[in-house]
Chains A and B, each alone.
Chain A
Amino acid sequence: MKKWTPYLLVAPYILHFMVFVLFPVVFSVVLTFHSWNIIAPMKYVGLANYTHVFQDRLFWQAVWNTLRFLIVHIPLQIIVALGLAELLNRTVKGASFFRAAFFLPVIVSGVVVTILWQQLLSFNSGILNRMLTALALPRVAWLDDLAIAMYSIAVMATWKNVGLYIILFLVGLQSVPTQYYEAADLEGASNWQKFRYITLPMINPTMFTVVVLSTIGGFSLFVEPYIMTQGGPMNTTLSAVMYIYRQAFQYYHMGYSATLGFCFALIILMVVVLQRRYVEQEV
């Protein structure tokens, strides 16, 4: 083997990394100090884009909307996924069918699922409202009510992704040694006590993974509000990523959009660090 053969072998990856990761990141940093609409030459604006971020109320509203989504989405996702994983962990008939069924939405295109839910939640013709009408209950404007539109999206997103987290929790649950439960049985512990004092602490690493994954996934919320509500009503479902996209590809404010991207990445980093500290303390 020649001395340079290893370099040749890793060259494709290095090249890919430089062209598709390193260069875009460096270029984005450069962009944050410029005003650029793609077609005209770049104009150096110093820190103007960064100062503008602090005055941009819509960006902060979009960040708050995203946090609101996460506050509902993450606990809901954990409760549903853990509950279903607990059920599927037992030797029940058709468990493998249910595992596949719960996982199915994960592999279906997000756009298709979103359009399907849009029809389900339609005010006049949606199945959900038809059921409410049949029960003589008032209809709900699931996607057009200022107070609940984001939560409707959070429920939909939970349904879409829960299958993945069920699998993760299943792996975690199956790795808990059975002798702990046997000892607890001998001590006369209730099911809840076994869950609280054995299962939960033992699956803490899985829990941390799920929390981090769903936090990052939740922060990148885009497809659901983009298709279902276009950020409305009154920007209550406008997510931060959607706003960054809008600045870049609707107004062609490439420099400002890159700046928003960096600021938002910083916010995500802070949240994940806080989560890590909290979960580590818990362990």
Chain B
Amino acid sequence: MRSIRKLRQVVRLGLGALLLAGCTQRMDTDRSLTFWCSNNAGEIAFANEFVQRWQQQRPDKPLRYQPIPEGQSSEEIILASVVGKTTPDIYANMWQGSVEMYAKAGVLVPLDTLKGFREFITARCDSAVIGEITSSDGHIYQVPWKVNPIMLLFNTRLANALNGQKPPYTYAGYLDAGKQIQRDNNGDGYVDQWLGYTEVKAIWYERLFNFYPLYLAASNGAPLIKRDANGRMRAAFDNPSAVGVFRFLQTLYRDNYFARERLSATRDPFMAQRIASQFTGPWTIGFVEKFKDPGFEYGTYTMPVPDTHQGPIYTYGDPKNIVIFNTCRDPQAAWEFVRTLVDKAGDLRLMELTAQFPRRKAIDSDPFFKVFLAQNPRLVPFARQTRYIKGVDNSEVIVEVFDIISQEYEACVIFNKKTPEAAIHDAAEAVNVLLMSE
């Protein structure tokens, strides 16, 4: 009997503690807005600075920041927090391709319903960007924030030693460079110096850094999917640009100009000069500058394009955006804070602290950013490229679209089992089936 009484006491105490914990959490969230930033050092410093400033200017609207909790990926953490209803009020670093899924699930605040949002966003971004971030229901759920354009880095010493075309390259010039650079240095019958390397794994997101920027470059920034005359979403990439990209990449692998083996486990092959070029973003610059050998020189160029290409050369911008979750009790205040992150001063500070670029009009020619770019000449080509970047199509199933393309990419580009025409056609058919079932 006594033990049962004790058990009851323990249960009561446990329930009391749980209740108290719940109340503490409740009181805590009642007090302030929460802002989750990315967990790299630059962005934590950025968040810290802006939250401090906000707290001084708006003591009536307390706000605290926290780097996104550790996990396999930030997407996984955000999903878990949405399911558990523990989302922050504001989240920066949302991959643009994920937004439509969350918007359709009704967990995001439509920002265009907030006071001052439309005016601000039209002043900051051009109509193409606004079109890209507008959801299928006509609302905008994301603030276009930062981009990292994918470009071609080329070892200048190796490029200067080549006969013929120098970067920036058309397909023919790049393939010719591959022919000259590819080498068996130790005479064992296997190539160990290549023109380039790009991840061969058939994981959907790897296509964002090889097929997709090349497709955008070849097609002047065309979408992968678009609405047809009947209003249905259909694959839009069964075209000569996509076929050309597959053929170009297939040739690079078939002729051993690109390494098929995984080089990611070894010392950075670009700096070890095992590869002459790579498709990458501005994040590489800081790394290369820090660890390069003396005398190692490189240049940044636009992505290779078809020989007959005309017009600007687009690329993938790897956009990360800011969203406000509908668990936020004061979306207007949250937007007022977000606005301080993405005004001109905020954008400049982002560049200074993280070497990433804001997604705004004409960064390369705006006098406001001139001093920064003059001090960081290595970033200037990326700043210029921000005029011609694209995100991904606004679709709930964009991951599956990339996965389908990835499967065909592997069959055609890596293993040469299909013609580029057949691979692209099959991918488009599969995407159409997928879109019909949505």
State the A residues within 8 Å of B (CB). Answer: 37-40, 119, 122-125, 133, 139, 144, 146, 230-235, 250-252
Known contacts A37-B105, A38-B83, A39-B107; A123 and B201 CB within 8 A of each other? no
What distance in Å separates the Cβ of A15 from its nearest Cβ neighbour in chain B? 14
Complex Cα gap A167–B169 (Å): 62
What distance in Å separates the Cβ of A38 from its nearest Cβ neighbour in chain B? 5
Indicate if the CB atoms of A123 and B79 lie closer than 8 Å.
no
Indicate if the CB atoms of A39 and B265 lie closer than 8 Å.
no
Indicate if the CB atoms of B261 and A234 lie closer than 8 Å.
no
Indicate if the CB atoms of B260 and A231 lie closer than 8 Å.
no
Question: Chain A at the B interface: mostly helix, strand, loop or mixed?
Answer: loop
Complex Cα gap A144–B414 (Å): 10
What distance in Å separates the Cβ of A125 from its nearest Cβ neighbour in chain B? 7
Indicate if the CB atoms of A250 and B399 lie closer than 8 Å.
yes
B415 at the interface (CB under 8 A from A): yes
Jot down 28 A-B pairs with beta carbons below 8 A, ordered by A. Answer: A37-B101, A37-B105, A38-B82, A39-B79, A39-B102, A39-B107, A40-B104, A40-B106, A124-B190, A124-B261, A125-B266, A133-B188, A139-B190, A144-B261, A146-B415, A232-B202, A233-B202, A233-B410, A233-B414, A233-B415, A234-B202, A234-B410, A234-B411, A234-B415, A234-B417, A250-B399, A251-B400, A252-B101
State the B residues within 8 Å of A (CB). Answer: 79, 82-83, 101-102, 104-107, 188, 190, 192, 201-204, 260-262, 265-266, 399-400, 403, 407, 410-411, 414-415, 417
| B residues near A37, Cβ cutoff 8 Å | 101, 105
Indicate if the CB atoms of A124 and B399 lie closer than 8 Å.
no
| A residues near B204, Cβ cutoff 8 Å | 250
| A residues near B82, Cβ cutoff 8 Å | 38-39
What distance in Å separates the Cβ of A230 from its nearest Cβ neighbour in chain B? 5
Chain A residue with the shortest CB-CB distance to B201: A230
Complex Cα gap A230–B407 (Å): 12
| B residues near A38, Cβ cutoff 8 Å | 79, 82-83
Closest 7 CB pairs of A and B: A39-B105, A40-B105, A123-B261, A232-B202, A39-B82, A124-B261, A230-B201
Q: Which of A139, A144, A146, A234 contacts B260 (CB 8 A)?
A: A144
| A residues near B411, Cβ cutoff 8 Å | 234
| B residues near A123, Cβ cutoff 8 Å | 260-261
Complex Cα gap A234–B406 (Å): 10
Indicate if the CB atoms of A39 and B190 lie closer than 8 Å.
no
Chain B residue with the shortest CB-CB distance to A119: B265
What distance in Å separates the Cβ of B138 from its nearest Cβ neighbour in chain A? 19
Q: Which of B202, B265, B266 contacts A230 (CB 8 A)?
A: B202
| B residues near A124, Cβ cutoff 8 Å | 190, 192, 261
Complex Cα gap A125–B266 (Å): 9
Chain B residue with the shortest CB-CB distance to A230: B201
| A residues near B414, Cβ cutoff 8 Å | 233
Known contacts A146-B415, A232-B201, A234-B417; A251 and B190 CB within 8 A of each other? no
Complex Cα gap A48–B414 (Å): 35
| A residues near B266, Cβ cutoff 8 Å | 125
Q: Which of A119, A133, A235, A251 contacts B407 (CB 8 A)?
A: A235
What distance in Å separates the Cβ of B332 from its nearest Cβ neighbour in chain A? 24
Q: A122-B261, A122-B265, A146-B415 are in contact. List 20 more A-B contacts (CB 8 A).
A: A37-B105, A38-B82, A39-B83, A39-B101, A40-B104, A40-B105, A40-B106, A124-B190, A144-B261, A230-B201, A231-B202, A232-B410, A233-B410, A233-B415, A234-B415, A234-B417, A235-B202, A250-B399, A250-B403, A252-B79
